[in-house]
Amino acid sequence: MRQIIEWVERITNKKLNVKIGNRRKGDPVTLIASSKKAEEVLGWRPECSDMETIVSSAYSWMKKLRQ
């Protein structure tokens, strides 16, 4: 999670107001994001696989929505 926060701050050139607390009851110990199952079942592949491109693309999309 901290890596994503760092990427977002670097790409947006903005400091995020982040509050990290203890896990809540029922929260998983770890989270794993993978598109492997979608590829196997649906034949889907992501257009972007590196974090810089993903965050930059999402930020550009969000900025266009706000215009």
pLDDT at position 61 over 90: yes
pLDDT at 25: 94
CA distance 20 to 45: 32
| Contact assessment for residue 52 and residue 60, using Cβ atoms and an 8 Å cutoff | no
d(CA 3, CA 39): 25
Percent of the chain surpassing pLDDT 70: 100
The pTM of the full predicted model, rounded to 2 decimals, is 0.67
The pLDDT of residue 7 is: 92
Does residue 10 register a pLDDT over 90?
Answer: yes
Over residues 44-54, mean pLDDT: 90
Q: Given this model, what pLDDT does residue 53 score?
A: 93
